[in-house]
Amino acid sequence: MIVRSWGNYPRVEHAAVVPLNWRHLPLPRLAGPLLPVGLARSYGDSCLNEGGTLLAARGLDRLVSFDREGGRLRCEAGVSLAEILELVVPHGWFLPVVPGTAFATVGGAIANDVHGKNHHVAGTFGHHVRRFELLRSGGERIECSPDSNGGLFRATVGGLGLTGLVTWAELELARAPSAWFDVETIRVEGLDHFFALSEESAAAHEYTVAWIDALAGGEHAGRGLFMRANFAAAGGPHVPPGRRLSVPFDFPALALNRGSIGAFNALYRSRGSRRWRATREPYPRYLFPLDGIAGWNRMYGKRGFVQHQSVVPRADAPRHLRAMLEAIARSGEASFLTVLKVFGDREPAGLLSFARPGVTLALDFPMRGGSTLSLLDRLDAIVREAGGAVYPAKDARMSPETFRASFPRRDEFARHIDPAFSSSFWRRVSP
């Protein structure tokens, strides 16, 4: 069966996709490697398993227990973050960390140790996982927490689904005074301005992120919009029902090109035309703007798109970011959704966690074949030279060398891999 991930690149053939529906049942006995998959929001091939079997775990979608006073939620690994928020927000709770989409599962959030706009305050998803059960191919069920079976816990957090199947997990929730965000949108004139704003905002704003016009080069490099936000004190625990648009088919390949992306960037930037703007927004619109358009990934056409998210150490970050933005400007490729954020200093939760102290740049490019791939290789070289890392959840093409350089604890991690589990990504970066 052909399965594609969120980037629509690559699309690979699988021997089988086996739905899992009950957490107490043993893993199906099948030939070939296994890989659990949830809502397949990873962009590249970390949620694919060419020639092997995908364990479709979305059917593990039950709650186990919800402590409304203490803010602890135990649920099966296929429950989506959107479902959790729908359940807990009316009780005054929130997930301490959410990525840019709510259509990811708990299992996926653990496997990629996802981060969000509040990394500088809250760390990653894995920092708030209290415990989970890991079902290994040998049939053992191992309850893991930071203190018991801690090695396996730290390997599974950020472990790309390779250490076994997470059947359920217990999450610590965070108090939320309302379901609304007070958002300030500030025009960014360039990279130096971005760093000044990040520094100034880190203490008083829980959520910060910048959108960057990656087509701008030279003195304009890094111009864009800086958005900082906190939970609104008022507004109540409910949000108006959202209207969902959808992209019903793959757009023609040419729909997103340098011209249309440039036009979009100009339009988007005009949101900040007043230099400073304050709004109150319901949490889905602020945290998950693209979730409002079902299938937005299809805008990129049949060939799909590739993401490139990297993190470079803070010290020399401006120089390396400038080098990356210049490489893009020179290449003739255009990144549509370019996002910049300063991570906090918290120690990573997992052995293979991507988020670490530094500055992260997320790019996405319509997949145009060789020219796109060679630009990404040039970006990798800059990241390696900086001593940074490239994010597996968004990757479809990094080299084994880049992977090794990004994840110095790779060998320690590899000891915890379940012998029956593997993925297209893992076989590619660990030949």
The binding site for other proteins (CB under 8 A) comprises: 19, 21-24, 59, 62-66, 74-75, 87
Residue closer to other proteins, measured from CB, 59 or 151: 59
For 289, residues 6+ apart whose C-beta sits below 8 A from its C-beta are none
User: 377: which DSSP letter?
Assistant: H
Give the residue ranges of DSSP H helices in 1-149: 81-88, 106-111, 119-122
Cβ at position 193, least distance to other proteins in Å? 46
Q: Is the dihedral of CA 322, 116, 126, 55 positive or negative?
A: negative
Cβ at position 23, least distance to other proteins in Å? 7
Residue closer to other proteins, measured from CB, 79 or 152: 79
Distance CA 206, CA 174 (A): 12
Cβ at position 393, least distance to other proteins in Å? 25
Give CA separation, 420 vs 32, 152, 191, 294, 415, in Å. 8, 16, 46, 34, 13
Is-contact 185 270, C-beta < 8 A? Answer: no
Rounded to the nearest 10 degrees, the angle between the axes of helix 370-386 and helix 317-331 is: 170
Is-contact 145 153, C-beta < 8 A? Answer: yes
**Tokens 């816990």, residue?**
153
End-to-end CA distance of the chain: 24
Residue closer to other proteins, measured from CB, 22 or 276: 22
Residue closer to other proteins, measured from CB, 59 or 400: 59
Give CA separation, 106 vs 89, 351, 405, in Å. 17, 18, 28
Tokens of 412: 């320690």
Residue closer to other proteins, measured from CB, 171 or 337: 171
Collapsing DSSP to helix, strand or coil, 104 comes out as: coil
Helix (H) or strand (E) holding 113: none
Residue closer to other proteins, measured from CB, 165 or 227: 165
Cβ at position 168, least distance to other proteins in Å? 10
Q: How many CA atoms lie within 13 A of 326 on its CB side?
A: 10
Residue closer to other proteins, measured from CB, 76 or 418: 76
Cβ at position 95, least distance to other proteins in Å? 16
Residue closer to other proteins, measured from CB, 23 or 308: 23
Cβ at position 24, least distance to other proteins in Å? 5
Cβ at position 85, least distance to other proteins in Å? 14
**Tokens 């996405």, residue?**
364
- Beta-strand (E) ranges in 165-219? 165-172, 174-175, 180-188, 207-212
Helix (H) or strand (E) holding 65: strand 63-67
Rounded to the nearest 10 degrees, the angle between the axes of helix 317-331 and helix 191-202 is: 140
Cβ at position 339, least distance to other proteins in Å? 31
Residue closer to other proteins, measured from CB, 238 or 319: 238
Residue closer to other proteins, measured from CB, 74 or 141: 74
Cβ at position 17, least distance to other proteins in Å? 10
Cβ at position 76, least distance to other proteins in Å? 8
